[in-house]
Structure 1
């Protein structure tokens, strides 16, 4: 019998059904939608960069469509993630990430961070790093069975979305088009990863005890609506640091769902983009930033830190307690740089 004949075919995945759209009238955020299918058309990059200009300054969130994957392909990833979270806790804990030392690849159980006295986070996470020899690690059977499919999806997101957005950011900042690509190449050592996430449902009483939806600093929160065959993109700390706040890292949080969805567990498929780990977080030199007054660092303490140091410190601190902090949701991450968590 040939060796190939002895391989066991993966078990068929149950079809993942996205939750029905809420019927509640909510205060939806009005976000820009970038159609990346226009990227390679004559003048396409310039049109997309013009759209992106307002989005990245004012909100930091936007939608992407036309990225080359069907909703069925996306739903397959949701199905894989759901099957992983259906495993026993004993099995999942075999693949626990080394969170206490800044490791994030692998499994994060729910309930590691106290979000209010006596109340803990309700999220489970499984992170899969880039598909490079340096990041090889053990995975549970459900991940190994679909490993090639996960790899294809992860690399598709990098090629069809990440690379194009990085090039558009460079155009927006009037930098060489490959400026950000040079520090985000797939084969470089960086903290990019694909994430499966599960938010466990809470009762109405539990949500009330943790304040349900909060309004920080007197400014309201807006809901972000998911659309079929789209990706919701939000910018993060590193881009905000190196552009002195021109590219906005929006404060965002997962909140209690509307009443007609409150009975559901929620699942997420995310892709985190990081520059190469040894990149120093020094501000870029951009004429656009100079013209618009973004000539001072958002936080001087972040200047000179490396991207790898920042990510590992943030992961480590995310599972620690801060008994001396005035606000339990605020943490000093590294070098005196503080961030605030909203749960």
Structure 2
């Protein structure tokens, strides 16, 4: 008989929201409570389309998770980083450069960021089929929470991609001043995600920026909100109607430096065998036209694109692009840009 006692979690204490006067992106706020009526759903469709075609990033509120549930999940998200001994972490460490799959731990300093500086963030990746693989001992009592959390995301974005879509707990650690100078305060270069959509739970440490027509803009924290953004796969399928959102992570503002930055992210992928070509049966694409990144006959499958992007990140030798501040690499015959 299952236990009726909910296991207690160690308490993760996040930083307070920044008080610095930052230039924030003006992102759409999608209120899911409107979905209760036909009129509300019609309104949401317009708001979502406008938000995703303008910035490719938007907030989602009233999604069904309470503030208390949110806080508990952040407590759980910190357990793989703070509650597991280093020798046990090694037993659950993956090698994404070889496998093209994020599973288990990615240790700190696994990726090259810039100018010889390696990353200072650790993450633990959990297949959305939570019970399909083993997990560190400290995390096992909380698998029911993680399983329920992952299924919440699946309901919001129901692509059937067994073995690929995954939940990530991720923690950035402060860097030395020398490293900040060498990388110009960039913790993760500007890039697009390579799945279909990404769902990120808003957290208070300001570090995420998106590229807008006006330049880089900060993403403001909204308590208990989700952030959703478009990835490469959606851009391929929609022929550029929805474009992958360029975003990066930088050093937090002065009043938040010295704090760790804990994130919870759900990465959704299409089935591995889906060919990444525009869905030309769509009347919208027939009306507006498409912008292909490659010809249909050489377009990669989801698996080929996923493996190429994961294996190359932080390991490949980037080349200087034609545009200022942009580095490039060619994967599956397609140019991938990194924005610095």
Tell me if TM exceeds 0.5.
yes
Q: CA 1:245–1:190 in structure 2 vs 1: closer, same or farther (change >3 Å)?
A: farther
1:341 pairs with 2:338: yes
TM-superposed deviation, 1:156: 1.3
More strand per residue: 1 or 2?
2
Deviates more, 1:263-272 or 1:112-121: 112-121
1: CA distance, partners of 2:24 / 2:248: 14
CA gap of 1:217–1:31, structure 2 versus 1, over 3 A, is closer
Tell me if the contact between 2:235 and 2:244 (Cα under 8 Å) persists in the aligned partners.
yes
Q: What is the aligned counterpart of 1:306 among 301, 304, 311?
A: 301
- Selected match of 1:198 from 158, 171, 179: 171
Q: Distance in 2 between matches of 1:189 and 1:153?
A: 16
Aligned residue for 2:162, secondary structure, equals coil
Partner deviation per Cα, 1:82-116 (whole Å, 9 max, x = no partner): 12101232221111113122121111111122122
Say yes or no: does 1:288 pair with 2:277. no
* 1:151 has 2:147 as partner: yes
1:14-71 Cα offsets, whole Å, 9 max, x none, are 2233321111000000000001111131322211011012111121000001110012
Q: Distance in 2 between matches of 1:22 and 1:67?
A: 25
In structure 1, C-alpha distance between the alignment counterparts of 2:169 and 2:217, rounded to whole Å: 24
TM-superposed deviation, 1:308: 1.6
Matched with 2:111 is 113
Residues 10-25 of structure 1 correspond to what in structure 2 (within 5 A)? 12-25=8-21
1:67 alignment partner, one of 63, 67, 78: 63
- The Cα shift of 1:76 comes to 1.7
- CA apart distance, 1:201: 1.0
1:80 to 76, 85, 95: 76
Q: Is the 8 A contact 1:191 1:311 kept in 2?
A: no
Provide TM-score, normalisation by structure 2: 0.83
Contact 1:199 1:265 in 2 (8 A): yes
CA RMSD of aligned residues (A): 2.6
Aligned length: 310
1:197 is paired with a residue whose SS is: strand
Name the SS for the 1:75 alignment partner: helix
SS in 2 for 1:315: helix
Give, in whole Å, the separation in 2 of the partners of 1:326 and 1:118.
16
Distance in 2 (alpha carbons) for counterparts of 1:145 and 1:197: 19
Structure 1 residue 75: Cα displacement? 2.0
| Aligned equivalent of 2:251 | 256
Mapped pair 1:211 → 2:190? no
- Hey, what's the Cα distance between the residues in 1 that align with 2:111 and 2:65? 35
Give 5+ residue unaligned stretches, structure 1: 164-183
Distance 1:11 1:91 in 2: 21
Q: Partner of 1:128 in structure 2?
A: 126
Tell me the TM-score normalized by structure 1.
0.82
Aligned counterpart, 2:311: 316
Aligned residue among 93, 97, 108 for 2:94: 97
Larger Rg: 1
Structure 2 gaps of 5+ residues are 191-210
Alpha-carbon distance in structure 1 between the residues aligned to 2:307 and 2:33: 35
User: What does residue 45 of structure 1 align with?
Assistant: 41
Of the candidates 321, 330, 333, which is equivalent to residue 332 of structure 1? 330
Deviates more, 1:304-313 or 1:232-241: 304-313
**Inter-partner Cα distance in structure 2 for 1:303 and 1:48:** 36
